[in-house]
Amino acid sequence: MARIDVRKTYKLYIGGAFPRSESGHSYEVTDSKGKFVANAALASRKDVRDAVVAARKAAAGWAGRTAYNRGQILYRIAEVMEDRRPQFEEAVRQSEGVTAAVARGQVDAAVDRLVWYAGWADKLAQVIGNANPVAGPFFNHTAPEPTGVVGVLAPQESSLLGLVSVVAPVVVTGNVAVVVSSYERPLPAVTFSEVLATSDVPGGVVNILTGDAATLGPWLAAHMDVNAIDLGGVAGDTELATSLEVAAADNLKRVRRAPAAEPDWAAEPDLSAMTAFVEAKTVWHPIGI
Amino acid sequence: MPTTAPTGPAPGLAAYADVTTSDATLRRFLHGLPGVDQVGAEARAAALGTRSIKTTAKAWALDLAIRMVDLTTLEGQDTPGKVRALASKALRPDPADPSCPSVAAVCVYGDLVGDVKAIVGDAVNVAAVATAFPSGRASMEVKLADTRDAVANGADEIDMVIDRGAFLAGRYLQVFDEIVATREACARADGSHAHLKVIFETGELQTYDNVRRASWLAMLAGADFIKTSTGKVQPAATLPVTLVMLEAVRDFREATGVQIGVKPAGGIRTTKDAIKYLVMVNEIAGDDWLDPDWFRFGASTLLNDLLMQRTKMTTGRYSGPDYFTLD
Amino acid sequence: MAFEYAPAPESRSIVDIKPSYGLFIDGEFVDGRGTSFKTINPATEETLAEVAEASEADVDLAVKAARRAFRGWSRMSGKERAKYLFRIARILQERGRELAVLESIDNGKPIKESRDVDVPIVAAHFFYYAGWADKLDYAGLGPNPQPLGVAGQVIPWNFPLLMLAWKIAPALACGNTVVLKPAETTPLTALLFAEICQQADLPPGVVNIVTGAGSTGQAVVGHPDVDKVAFTGSTDVGKAIARAVAGTDKKVTLELGGKAANIVFDDAPIDQAVEGIVGGIFFNQGHVCCAGSRLLVQESVADEVLSRLKRRMGTLRVGDPLDKNTDIGAINSAEQLARIRELSDIGESEGAERWAPPCDLPSSGFWFPPTIFTGVTQAHRIAREEVFGPVLSVLTFRTPAEAVEKANNTPYGLSAGVWTEKGSRILHMASQLRAGVVWANTFNKFDPASPFGGYKESGYGREGGRQGLAAYLKGADL
């Protein structure tokens, strides 16, 4: 008789731990053909609240790491992912209904994207910061700093590459993230959170909630202790995106607007995913004897 | 200007007695004074320089500035004839206008004090530079003899130089002791003493932190006045250096109750500059210092510019150098 | 003996204020279709001029003119655009005194500030961005950067001409055209700037000035054909704008309120720190978004700093803005004066101790003496809300960590000051303070090459420097 496999419970990832939803709710996740795969935790507004608290707690420590250290940790995530490629391939194949080869391509691209962003950790400040030649005896320079707690509505379609493409730029710049995964394709995100938990990423730096962006987005957008929000996960839903942007104005969150349609994540990224969530700080000091 | 020494240290000053017991304590004290940010100090001085002093305020300031001038000649070529001419001018800067006040003092080398005194009597003070002016590079005995000689010749005021070498090498107690000794050498037989001005040569001290330290050191040692420069080193007096010294005398009086005078010297040539200094005195130290007893200009060419401006104020037209005496 | 400075008034004969002004649209002054309003001299309450209030239709005309002009302006080579900006910079210098006097009359700020700070930086801003116009490829903002289109710009009354320069210079350098609305209480220098655009032969429609109040501003921001919104003003209005542009493609720069901490450590260069405190809060009557309105002073030196501060405040000269010796001029409007009074009264009723040096205030006009509140805690409203007036709240701290905590304990994050002679502490504090501009051992310094803008509810986007270009180019985001 065949062995009965041990199935995994898919949980949320908050503050470095894997809790079930505070609400006790879960939802059925199916593969692309509608076949039951697993029950995922259905994150509630209180999970959003907890995740923001965890993120805020981690923010200063993560921002205070050296850029080199953050780069090392992002690279470490890539290493651990690489190790688990077959698992991710299967998850992507199942979630997105693509062929194994396409799924493998997505996984490889996701790993490579992490490596690409890892390298930016100690270079972005050099590329977008500068010394300013002011007309007076002052040393004056501008450098980017992390915005803080960033809410990320992850892409709905690209369950892994899309996810990595929006999370990596947020954390490599020193921000912390509260991520709402793809609603229908959440399982690669959960596996990704397991990678994060074993990759030297401090607890709370990335928090991943499986659930509905339309339900959780408003709480995240209106949360007064969230500094910025990436609305990419509601691409195409202009009405929802607009209402989230309106809510985000309550504390003037930096908003990365939702595009009309989900972009091609295989395309080479530019700096915009990082520059959307940094603050230019300018420091003056007199020059004298 | 008080010419007798106080009977003992002022009560406020006694609190600082411990400061000067050793090089180490003095150093600790001087280096514990708040720092001076160069850019900020210069910006403040420049901002005060934009005050606009017009009409009645200007007329008032001109007369005050004239009364504050230490009319100076400190050249190797000075002769009794030259200093007598200068002395006459000091008494009556504008012979055409009897309402023009006399200057505060005539400042010369010690050997020429008698020649000046013969002209000005007690109407104008005579100041003598001493202590191996301008470098201060001589033995202590020589410096003190230089001082006693000038006092014996009748000097009302002694402008001494500090040993900048010792100061910059951190031998603060040596500088302190020299000032104390020079002050003692200013004593006269009748118990009074010549007024002591201590020259820092701020152009050699270089930093405002040093200027602030030198100011406190000299004030603790018994200086009656602190003075920027000999006029022989560039830069001489500047607005920001004077600003730092005015802050020092202000703070010193607040701490000890003892008021000390300030004398910028060298490089102040125009009325416009002189008025900037007066504005600074007014707004930094306060109007208690707006008096020749507490503020002086060490200058020579400044006087004629003040006189020309004064004439412009009274006649309403611009004057020219031909209408004022050379010295 | 007291040194009384005689009055030293700057002559106002250099300015020629017309009885009424229209709108500047498509290179011409035109009558508005709406009503008009009066602009007054806040130092005397005399009416200076009658100014058109642009209606929605007027704003539409202005946007259309800007759209038409955009075609030519954006396609003109950067080299040629640069020359127009250089021309404007030169005319600003040539007419500098006139602009300064007009600014002081309409705004109430002391002539020494309009003359020595505002106008020189205005000209410098145009010079700076003029040079960028043909060098955008080198700005590190991607290859062949493109302008956004029509920029709708709404500016405040505290630095009328300077804020205009911060808005218009980078917009034009990048190839955008603009519709700018100056503040209701201070429209005159913007209208004089329009005349300068004419003198410079700037192509019609590149710069359009629409005067008016809030509704005009809303029309500018909300116009569907505006591609870029740049606003400087209150955080409340900034939030309203952020809501208004939600769901559009409009790029937005918001430069909003602040409640900056000015932190003085016990090893500070104390006399310069006192100057920095005074300049930080009393410059421009405290009508400064980045004003150092919260003094955080280390307890060990609090008494000394306060006594020096009070002595220094005693030398501040409050009065006629056109007197060259005036340090603090008139409060810009009756409304603002009421707000300052209200918050100050609240400060007192909440138990903070109020102090102001004795000073004679003129009988007409809007005036408020330089004021400090001691015994203030983070819980007081005067420590949290932006007063936008010459009112300083004094708080104390014991350790650097406490200073950082208190400084950052605000929804704002525009600027901060640090005073200490210890280099490593400066760098530590600079890195910990959540503010877009940190002045260490200095305060309230501005330069066209230096980016300016806030964290958190102080807004987003930067003005000035290379970062200021990004606000007016497609894709770029710094």
Tens of pLDDT, residues B165-208: 999 999 999 999 999 999 999 999 999 999 999 999 999 999 99
Cα separation, C133 vs C416, whole angstroms: 32
Distances (CA, A) of A4 to A1, A7, A59, A191, A289: 9, 9, 43, 21, 78
**Distance of residue C270 Cα from the nearest chain B Cα, in angstroms:** 6
Distances (CA, A) of C94 to A135, C168, C397, C419, C478: 20, 19, 48, 38, 34
| pLDDT digits 0-9 by tens, C311-338 | 999 999 999 999 999 999 999 999 999 9
What are the φ/ψ torsions at residue C459 (nearest 5 degrees)? 110, -170
DSSP string of C333-364? -HHHHHHHHHHHHHHHHTTPEEE----PPPSS
User: What integer pLDDT is reported at residue B5 of this predicted model?
Assistant: 45
Nearest CA-CA partner of C189 in C115, C272, C135, C255: C115
Against chain B, the chains showing at least 3 CB pairs within 8 Å are A, C
Contact residues, chain B, for A287 at CB < 8 Å: 39
Cα separation, C75 vs C147, whole angstroms: 10
Q: If pLDDT is split at 50, 70 and 90, which confidence band does B8 have?
A: low
Taking 80 as the threshold, does the pLDDT of residue B20 lie above it? yes
CATH of domain C20-256+456-470: 3.40.605.10
Cα separation, A42 vs A181, whole angstroms: 11
Number of domains making up chain B: 1
Question: Quick check: C138 contacting A, CB < 8 Å?
Answer: no
C289 catalytic per annotation = yes
Is residue B26 a part of any domain in this protein? Answer: yes
| Beta carbons within 10 angstroms of residue C72's beta carbon | 13
Query: Over the range C319-358, which residues count as b (16 or more CB within 10 Å of their CB) and which as e?
Result: bbbbbbbbbbbbbbbeebbebbeebbeebeebebeebbbe
Taking 60 as the threshold, does the pLDDT of residue C442 lie above it? yes
For residue C149, the SS3 value is: coil
Average pLDDT over residues C437-460: 98
- Which residues of chain A from 106 to 165 reach within 8 Å of chain B, CB to CB? 136-138
Question: Is C142 in Cβ contact with A270 (below 8 Å)?
Answer: yes
**Distance of residue C464 Cα from the nearest chain A Cα, in angstroms:** 10
User: What integer pLDDT is reported at residue C1 of this predicted model?
Assistant: 61
User: What integer pLDDT is reported at residue A270 of this predicted model?
Assistant: 93
Nearest CA-CA partner of A78 in A168, A5, A12: A168
Cα separation, B170 vs B177, whole angstroms: 14
User: What integer pLDDT is reported at residue C477 of this predicted model?
Assistant: 72
| pLDDT digits 0-9 by tens, C54-86 | 999 999 999 999 999 999 999 999 999 999 999
Q: Is B68 left (phi over 0), alpha (psi -120 to 50) or beta?
A: alpha
Cα separation, A189 vs A153, whole angstroms: 12
Contact residues, chain A, for B39 at CB < 8 Å: 136-138, 286-288
Question: Quick check: C255 contacting A, CB < 8 Å?
Answer: no
Contact residues, chain C, for B52 at CB < 8 Å: 5, 8, 324-325
| Beta carbons within 10 angstroms of residue A16's beta carbon | 17
User: What integer pLDDT is reported at residue C476 of this predicted model?
Assistant: 67
Taking 70 as the threshold, does the pLDDT of residue B6 lie above it? no
* Domain definitions of chain C by residue range: 20-256+456-470, 261-440
Is residue B324 a part of any domain in this protein? Answer: no
Interface with chain A: mutation pick from C432, C446, C456, C463, highest number of A CBs within 10 Å: C456
B159 catalytic per annotation = yes
Does residue A180 contact residue A209 with C-beta atoms inside 8 Å?
A: yes
Cα separation, C395 vs B30, whole angstroms: 29
CATH label of the domain that carries residue B41:
3.20.20.70
Taking 90 as the threshold, does the pLDDT of residue A32 lie above it? no
Question: How large is the ipTM?
Answer: 0.97
| pLDDT digits 0-9 by tens, A68-121 | 999 999 999 999 999 999 999 999 999 999 999 999 999 999 999 999 999 999
| pLDDT digits 0-9 by tens, C88-105 | 999 999 999 999 999 999
Question: Quick check: C466 contacting A, CB < 8 Å?
Answer: yes
| Beta carbons within 10 angstroms of residue A75's beta carbon | 18
Distances (CA, A) of C246 to B70, C19, C399: 72, 40, 42
Cα separation, C299 vs C396, whole angstroms: 5
| pLDDT digits 0-9 by tens, B204-247 | 999 999 999 999 999 999 999 999 999 999 999 999 999 999 99
- Helix, strand, coil proportions of chain C in percent (round to 5)? 40, 20, 40
**Distance of residue B27 Cα from the nearest chain C Cα, in angstroms:** 17
Q: Is C475 left (phi over 0), alpha (psi -120 to 50) or beta?
A: left
**Distance of residue B153 Cα from the nearest chain C Cα, in angstroms:** 34
* Per annotation, catalytic residue among C10, C53, C197, C289: C289
Question: Is A251 in Cβ contact with C243 (below 8 Å)?
Answer: no
> What is the average pLDDT score of chain B?
95
Average pLDDT over residues C348-354: 96
Domain hosting residue B260, numbered range? 16-317
Taking 80 as the threshold, does the pLDDT of residue C348 lie above it? yes
Q: Please report the domains of chain A, with CATH numbers, ordered by start residue.
A: 26-286 (3.40.605.10)
The H or E element that residue A285 is part of is: strand A278-286
Cα separation, A205 vs A221, whole angstroms: 19
Taking 70 as the threshold, does the pLDDT of residue B7 lie above it? no
Q: If pLDDT is split at 50, 70 and 90, which confidence band does B269 have?
A: very high
Does residue B39 contact residue A288 with C-beta atoms inside 8 Å?
A: yes
Is residue B150 a part of any domain in this protein? Answer: yes
> What is the average pLDDT score of chain C?
97
User: What integer pLDDT is reported at residue A166 of this predicted model?
Assistant: 98
Tell me the pairing of strands C415-419 and C23-25.
unpaired
Average pLDDT over residues A60-66: 98
Question: Is A286 in Cβ contact with B38 (below 8 Å)?
Answer: yes
Distant-in-sequence, close-in-space partners of A224: CB < 8 Å, separation ≥ 6: A250, A251
Is residue B154 a part of any domain in this protein? Answer: yes
- For residue B119, what are its two tokens? 């002209």
User: What integer pLDDT is reported at residue C38 of this predicted model?
Assistant: 97
Taking 80 as the threshold, does the pLDDT of residue A282 lie above it? yes
Cα separation, C328 vs B323, whole angstroms: 42
Contact residues, chain C, for A245 at CB < 8 Å: 242-243, 246-247
The domain covering C261-440 belongs, at the CATH homologous superfamily level, to Aldehyde Dehydrogenase; Chain A, domain 2 (3.40.309.10)
| pLDDT digits 0-9 by tens, C117-132 | 999 999 999 999 999 9
Give the orientation angle of helix A187-197 with respect to helix A161-172, to 10 degrees.
Answer: 40
Who among B40, B279, B282 is closest to C269 (CB)? B40
- For residue B69, what are its two tokens? 């001038």
Does residue C438 contact residue C430 with C-beta atoms inside 8 Å?
A: yes
- For residue C268, what are its two tokens? 């500070």
Question: Quick check: B49 contacting C, CB < 8 Å?
Answer: no
For residue C206, the SS3 value is: coil
Does residue C134 contact residue C81 with C-beta atoms inside 8 Å?
A: yes
Average pLDDT over residues C418-427: 98
Question: Is B40 in Cβ contact with A138 (below 8 Å)?
Answer: no
Cα separation, C285 vs C158, whole angstroms: 9
Average pLDDT over residues B93-107: 96
